[in-house]
Amino acid sequence: MGEVIDKLWRRINENSQRYLGVLNDLLSFPSVSATGEGMDIAGDRVRETLESVGLRSEVYIDHGGYPVVWGELREERHGTLLIYNHYDVQPPDPLDRWTSPPFTPQIRDGRVFARGACDNKGNLAARICALDLLMEVFGEIPLNIKFLVEGEEEIGSPNLKTFVEKHKENLSADACLWEMVGSSPSGRPIIYLGVKGILYLELHAREKRPDLHSSWGAIVRNPALELAHLIASLREKSGRVPVQGFYDDVEEPDDDTLSLLEELREAESEIRAVAGEDGLMTDKPIKDLLNDLLLHPCINICGFHSGYTGQGSKTVLPSSAFAKIDVRLVPRMRPEKVLETLRRHVEKETGGRVTIKPVDMGYPAARTSPREPVVELVTRTAEAAFNSKPLIYPSAAGSGPMYLITDYLKIPCVAAGIGDHLSNIHAPDESISVENYLRGVLHMALIIINFVPFYRSGVAPYL
């Protein structure tokens, strides 16, 4: 570490209990957007936390839905960083699988356990504490800072677009730092340059009759089979979608994006661990697997229900069946156009006997060029903060409303965070390591103090 980095790291460790206290405060109240639990006070609690480190903060409810918390520090600097986070969390169920209560943070074996520890209150707390750190060490924040903290990310951010449209002028920035991500199983920090889009649908097959004895299945239509045949027509064994027009707007990734895959061979062990023994659909080499996972669209079957699924047997010919599917999108694909493409396919395959219903129109994909200055800055500062060379992914396999930043506001955006392979996001015993949390504070501080000189002159004087 350099002299400044050493000084910051020493001060972080001296202040570690205070910074863990900030995290503890955010984790100690529920903010479950799916059920509404705790959401009535959550926005104000986040506003108070932002104000505690000197930001001017407001809670907005003019967009509908749960509050958006805005924080701003105007230092009249020659650079502005927009920081996106969310304060809502997933439901903690099943409660009986938590070792400790989900909204009573506990530290065990060097990890903080609580719902939202990683996704996403830990990331938010680390970024807030970085401002406290820099004020203490330097007496100033050498950058204009804007925090955008929403309360609906876990339910698809249905009202964020309205907020961004209403407050577009206030959201201008040179770059945006997105929430999420962390480190690989080997400890290397991960940086995402984008996310996939998403469209969530239901398929319904229904006959105008009651359930029948299954013996009638020899001559009477079975909605479960109708739906099963349709679902089979949506994907080949390789994962390719054989729906006419599905790939019309898909643009092949450029050489810069593809070159990033060459550096991600370490991901093979993680992919195989997730898939399980013989769990991958194909035996493609790792580069092609990553191409499919990160850069290609796909259709996934999330659930299927029909007839009797209880204990024992019941010979029945069901009168209805339904399935839930999600479609992961890549840049240039638009949810509304993909929906119409699938409608035509469903009509062609079933003659109207299956209907398609949008549950969530979701949002488009987003991707930032690896040539953007913010990519190099976040990468170099991550290496300094975590003492390990980062892995740069051209996109996440998952989704988020990042397109509002990259496409609507025209701001380059990258994601970096403090989670790891043990974080159990969306699951019981969610956690982050104390070490990663404190290094996340350091990473954020290094981004801030190097931002203006790097953008103006291409140098990072504090690395």
Among 332, 363, 394, the domain boundary falls at: 363
Q: What is the C-alpha separation between 331 and 194, in angstroms, rounded? A: 9
Supply the DSSP string of 66-77, one letter for each residue: SPEEEEEE----
CATH number (domain holding residue 355):
3.30.70.360
Classify the C-alpha dihedral 312-315-319-325 as positive or negative: positive
pLDDT (tens digit per residue) in 35-94: 999 999 999 999 999 999 999 999 999 999 999 999 999 988 899 999 999 999 999 999
Q: Which residues are bridge partners to 85 per DSSP? A: 149
Check whether residue 331 and residue 434 sit in a common domain: no
Please say if the pLDDT value at position 189 is more than 70: yes
- The answer to whether position 204 is within a domain reads yes
SS3 call for 337: helix
Place of tokens 């370490």: 266
CB atoms under 10 Å from CB of 420, counted, come to 21
pLDDT at 76: 84
Q: Are residues 381 and 420 in the same domain?
A: yes
Split at pLDDT 50, 70, 90, the class of 275 is: confident
Whether the predicted pLDDT of 203 surpasses 80 = yes
- Which residues have C-beta within 8 Å of that of residue 445, sequence separation ≥ 6? 8, 130, 133, 134
Same domain, 301 and 207: yes
Beta-strand relationship, 391-393 and 106-108? unpaired
Q: Which long-range contacts link 211-216 to residues 24+ away (Cβ below 8 Å)? A: 211/307, 211/316, 211/317, 211/318, 211/319, 212/316, 212/317, 212/319, 213/315, 213/316, 213/317, 214/315, 214/316, 214/317, 215/315, 216/317
- Tell me phi and psi for residue 171, to 5 degrees: -95, 5
How does strand 190-192 pair with strand 144-150?
Answer: unpaired
**How far lies 58's CA from each of 18, 44, 146, 294, in Å?**
24, 9, 12, 36
Last residue of a domain, one of 312, 328, 363: 363
pLDDT at 149 over 90: yes
378 and 351 co-located in one domain:
no
* CATH, residue 152: 3.40.630.10
Shortest CA distance to 66 belongs to which of 137, 149, 176?
A: 149
pLDDT at 1 over 80: no
Mean pLDDT computed over 17-30: 98
Which residues make Cβ contacts (< 8 Å) with residue 14, sequence separation at least 6? Answer: none
pLDDT at position 167 over 70: yes
Give residue 215's domain range. 197-250+297-363
**Same domain for 235 and 327:** yes
Q: What whole-number distance in Å separates Cα of residue 97 and Cα of residue 427?
A: 9
- Report pLDDT digits (tens) over 124-140: 999 999 999 999 999 99
Query: Residues 121, 215: one domain?
Result: no
The predicted structure's pLDDT at residue 283:
87
Task: Place 322 in a pLDDT band, splitting at 50, 70 and 90.
Answer: very high
Task: Give the span between the Cα atoms of 224 and 317, in whole angstroms.
Answer: 9
Which class for 115: exposed (0-12), middle (13-18), buried (19 or more C-beta within 10 A)?
buried
Assess whether 189 and 321 both reside in one domain.
no
126 and 228 both lie in a single domain:
no
Residues 305, 410 within the same domain: no
Tell me: do 212 and 164 sit in the same domain.
Answer: no
Let me know whether 324 and 225 are in one domain. Answer: yes
Between 265 and 295, where is the model more confident?
295
Residues 162 and 201 in one domain: no
- Report the share of the chain in percent with pLDDT over 70: 100
Quick check: 382 pLDDT over 90?
yes
Q: Judge contact between 377 and 451, C-beta under 8 A.
A: yes
Check pLDDT > 80 for residue 381: yes
Whether pLDDT at 101 is above 90 = yes
The number of distinct structural domains making up the chain is 2
Local structure of residue 253 (DSSP, 8 states): P
* pLDDT for 129: 98
